[in-house]
Amino acid sequence: MTTNVEVLQAPEVSAEKVCSHCGKGKPETGFLERAGKLFCGDCFEERVASCDHCKEKFLRSAMTEVNDGIYCEKCFDERFRYCSGCEVYIRTDHANYSELHDRDFCENCFNERVTHCSACQDQIDPGSCFRDEENEPFCDDCWNNREEGRLPQYQEFSGGSFNECRSPRKYGIEIEAMMEEDADHLPSERLENWQQVTDGSLGDNGREYVSPILQGDEGFQAIRKFTGGLQGWGYFVNRDCGLHVHIDGRDLGCMEIKKLLKITRYFEPVLYAMLPESRHEGSYSVPLERFPKSRFRIGAKDEEALKRLWYGPKGSRRVDLKSKYHHSRYYGLNIHSWFYRRSLEFRYHSGTLSALKIMNFIVICQAIVDKAQAMKQVRMPKQGSFSELLDMFVAFFGLTPEIARYVRERVQKFHPERLLLPAA
C-alpha cells in the first residue's frame, strides 16, 4: 500500500531587515535596535527616549511621564509614589506612608488624615482619637493607660566603662530586620528593654527594633546580646532594611547643629563609600548634597532660624514638631529628630545584624557630633582626591587605628574604584 504525502514548503522569508514601526527597509540612517526591535533613525527618535534619571534608553511605551520628565520603570518605582489623596505622583522622599490606610500621601493629605498618639507615636485617626485638655491626641490603649497612670516611659541607661566606646555621649539604635513569611516575630518577653515597631516600608515580614538610650561599653554589650538574639530567632536583613543610629544632642545649641550639617555634608562621600550604592541612590537615606545649598546662608542664631534652614522659609511654619514623621527625616542626617526629641539620627547605614558593624558606626557618628560641638568655626578646604578626603576623615575625627582600618576595608569592599580617582 502506498500513501501519497504532500510536502508543504515553508513560505519564503525575506532576509531584508525592516523597521518594526514604519516597515521601511534600508533606511539611509541605518537601523538601531532597542528591546529586541529594529528601528530606522526617525522611528527610533520617535519611539525611544532616555530616562531622565539613569539616562538609559527605553521604548517610550514602557516608560512613564510625570512632572515634565520621563522615567524607565525601575527609576519611576524608586523615585515616585502616588498620593491617594490629591491623586498625583510625588517624589518618594516627599511621600508619607499611612499604616491606617495602607497608602502613600503627600504631606498635606497625610496631615489631614493621620495624626500620632502623643505617648506611643502610633498613627491614629485625628477625627476619632481621644484628646486631653490640651488637645493632645491619644490612641485607645494610651488613653486608658493615661487614665490609670501607666503611660510607657522611654528607658535610659548610663555606662561606667569607656574602653571600646570612648565617647561618653549617649546613643540609641533602630535595627530593621526581616523574618520569613508567616514566621513568628520575637515575642514581647524576649524584648527586655527594647521596643518592637512595625514599619510600612518593610511589610508584614519586617520589624524595627528600638533600643533604650545607651552609653559606653555597657551599651555595646547590650547591642551584642540583642543582635545575637535576633540572629538566633531567624532574622535576616535585605536591601529594604536600614540601621539608624541616634546620637544624644540634648547639650547642643542651634549653631552647633548647623556646624554638624556642614561637617557631615563635607565628609558624606566617605560615609557613602563605606556602604552599598543603594544607600546613596535610595529614598530613605538621601544625601545632604541634595539639600538646598542656599539654605546654609540662613543664620542659626536661634531655633526659629534653624527651622527655616532645615524646613525652608515656608515649611518651618507648617511642620508638626511633636511628630517624628516629616519628609525631611529621610536625609542621611536627620535633624528633624533633634527638633522632635533632641537626638541626631544618622540613617546612612545599610541593614545589619552585625554587632561589630553597628558599634563601629556608632563610634563614627559620636565622633562627628563631638567634633561639631568642639569646633568654633567650620572652614573646610576644597576637596581633593577621594584618597585625600579619606585620610582627612580619619585625622579630622581622631579615629583609632582599628576604626580607620575598618573604614578603609569597607571602602575597598564596596567602592574600590574611588581610591583610584584623581583630585577633582
Report the chain's C-alpha Rg in angstroms.
27
Asked which of 73, 103, 129 is the last residue of a domain, the reply is: 73
Give me 369's grid cell. Answer: 557630633
Instruction: Name the band, by pLDDT with cuts 50, 70 and 90, for residue 311.
Output: confident
User: What does the pLDDT read at residue 297?
Assistant: 66
Q: Using one digit for the tens of pLDDT, what is the confidence trace for 252-280?
A: 998 899 899 999 999 999 999 999 988 88
Percent of the chain with pLDDT over 90: 35
The number of distinct structural domains making up the chain is 2
In a domain, 177, yes or no: yes
- Tell me, yes or no, whether 258 and 380 share the same domain: yes
In a domain, 65, yes or no: yes
User: What does the pLDDT read at residue 212?
Assistant: 93
**Least confident interval from 188-197, 288-297, 348-357:** 288-297
Q: Using one digit for the tens of pLDDT, what is the confidence trace for 313-330?
A: 554 444 454 444 445 567
Q: Using one digit for the tens of pLDDT, what is the confidence trace for 343-402?
A: 999 999 999 999 999 999 999 999 999 999 999 888 888 888 999 999 999 999 999 999
Closest by Cα among 277, 293, 288, 287 to 418: 277
In a domain, 135, yes or no: no
User: What does the pLDDT read at residue 337?
Assistant: 83
In a domain, 382, yes or no: yes
In a domain, 52, yes or no: yes
- Tell me, yes or no, whether 67 and 176 share the same domain: no
The one-letter amino acid at 390: L
Q: State the average pLDDT over residues 106-130.
A: 81
pLDDT at 284 over 90: no
Sole residue written with cell 511621564: 65
Residue ranges making up the domain that contains 50: 31-73
In a domain, 112, yes or no: no
Environment class of 253 (CB within 10 Å of its CB; exposed 0-12, middle 13-18, buried 19+)? middle
- Tell me, yes or no, whether 191 and 335 share the same domain: yes
Tell me which DSSP letter residue 163 carries.
S
Instruction: Name the band, by pLDDT with cuts 50, 70 and 90, for residue 7.
Output: very low
Dihedral, CA atoms, 267, 271, 276, 281, nearest 10 degrees? Answer: -50
Query: What is the CB neighbour count within 10 angstroms for residue 131?
Result: 13
**Per-residue b/e over 108-127, b at no fewer than 16 CB within 10 Å?**
ebbbebbbbbbbbbebbeee
pLDDT at 5 over 50: no
Query: What is the CB neighbour count within 10 angstroms for residue 279?
Result: 23
- Cα 235 from chain centroid? 20
In a domain, 203, yes or no: yes
Q: State the average pLDDT over residues 148-174.
A: 82
- Tell me, yes or no, whether 250 and 363 share the same domain: yes
Of the segments 24-33, 55-64, 181-190, 250-259, which one has the largest average pLDDT value?
250-259
In a domain, 356, yes or no: yes
pLDDT at 9 over 90: no
Instruction: Name the band, by pLDDT with cuts 50, 70 and 90, for residue 159.
Output: confident
